[in-house]
Chain A
Amino acid sequence: MSDGSDLSDGSDKSGGNDMRDRCDTGGSNRQHPHPHPPPHPDPLVAYTEALGAALLGPARAKTRMLAEIHDGLLDATDAYVQEGLPRTEAAHRAVRDFGPVAVLAPECQRELTVAQTRHTACAAALCAPFLLVCWALARTAVGPSAAPLALLATVSTLLAAFTLATTGGVLARRFPVPRTLPRMVAWTGTGASVGMAVAALALACTAFMTAQWPLLAPAGALAAVSHAVLSTSARVSRRRLAPAAALSEREPGSLTG
């Protein structure tokens, strides 16, 4: 099932090492202080681990994707064993059929980047109401200077809605995912989370100075909690921005766009 080039360069070991090298230079600027551990003796596990090391994304989505690929490798190995091959050779052939990790990883990363973008957009959409509550409370305390909070909440909500609509379902089938969308979502999420932090601090100070505890202290706590949720998602999303460059305007094999 593989072409000649796969046979020469697509083994589990070379594919895995190629991918790790590629990602260290092209996918992330972070330097790993420790050398990579030796590949797992089981070729299927080694392939899945090499792929996992090359991918960044929401932990749950990544785990599911890797589990499904590992299951697929097991199925392919079983099929070759049934044809009469020894299990080790069958496993190596299954890995070779799957293609080099360097080829598969960008395809997987594209989906994980979209998943991360949707995750951040959901967090932004859920946190926006808290931002609006903060704005309403801050307006009574500090006046028109609280306006940026309302603006941030509106922008976050609109971008979150746009993101969720264009990365899944009907609209996503008709229009390609905008190339800059993951970056926009990451930075808007960052802006909203900073806004939350400012609001939480302002509300806590105002509550302390005006002694309006029943009203302001819970709002400050809400802002702090929602800031924690959104800032985590936005931070993770920013770290995924380098792979977001792989999010082409027209996805390969796509029926739409």
Chain B
Amino acid sequence: MKTEAVRGHLDGLLLAVLEPGPLHGYAIITAVQERSGGALELRTGTVYPALKRLERLGLLAGDWQSTGERRRRCYTLTDAGRRTLAEERTAWREFTEAIGAVLDTPARPARIRPAT
């Protein structure tokens, strides 16, 4: 999927990969890419401001942690984040079912009205 298509769903993807547990920025990026089987094209830099926005909205909680010589900001899904993720999943299923219902329905032969 192209970058622009992924961008519209970035928040949901980030919340989803944080559901099992806290991750830092780059681990979040690799988790999205691994879970999508490498099918999602992601400008990885845009993940960081998106994480900041989700933190400001109270959907994630950020915390600096030291791993070896490096400090990394780890993000945890908050209760509000879990609720939002559940809502996003429901909305996505309804959306794909509706689109799928239209796309997958075999086209009926066009009725040609005889000219009078």
Which residues in A have some Cβ–Cβ distance to B below 8 Å? 1-3, 6, 65, 68-69, 71-72, 74-76, 79, 97-99, 103-104, 107-108, 110-111, 114, 167-170, 172-173, 251-256
Contact = CB atoms under 8 A, between A and B. Distances in A.
25 contacts: A1-B33, A1-B41, A3-B3, A69-B45, A69-B48, A71-B70, A72-B45, A72-B48, A75-B27, A75-B72, A97-B43, A97-B45, A98-B43, A99-B45, A104-B43, A107-B45, A169-B57, A169-B58, A172-B56, A172-B57, A173-B84, A251-B53, A253-B7, A253-B10, A256-B84
B44 A107 contact: no
Nearest to B41: A3
B49 A110 contact: yes
B56 A167 contact: yes
Contacts of B77: none
Interface in B99-114: none
Contacts of B26: 71-72, 75-76, 79
A178 B25 CA distance: 28
Interface of B: 2-3, 7-12, 15, 24-27, 29-30, 33, 41-50, 52-53, 56-59, 70-73, 80, 84, 87-88
Contacts of B58: 168-170, 172-173
A1 B44 contact: yes
A221 B109 CA distance: 84
Contact of B52 (A74, A111, A254): A111
A6 B43 contact: yes
Contacts of A99: 43-46
A241 B71 CA distance: 33
A107 B49 contact: yes
Most buried by B among A65, A173, A255: A255
Nearest to B15: A255
A3 B7 contact: no
A110 B77 CA distance: 22
Contact of A65 (B2, B46, B52): B52
A68 B25 contact: yes
Contact of A253 (B11, B33, B41): B11
Given A99-B45, A108-B48, 4 more contacts: A97-B44, A99-B46, A103-B45, A168-B57
B42 A3 contact: no
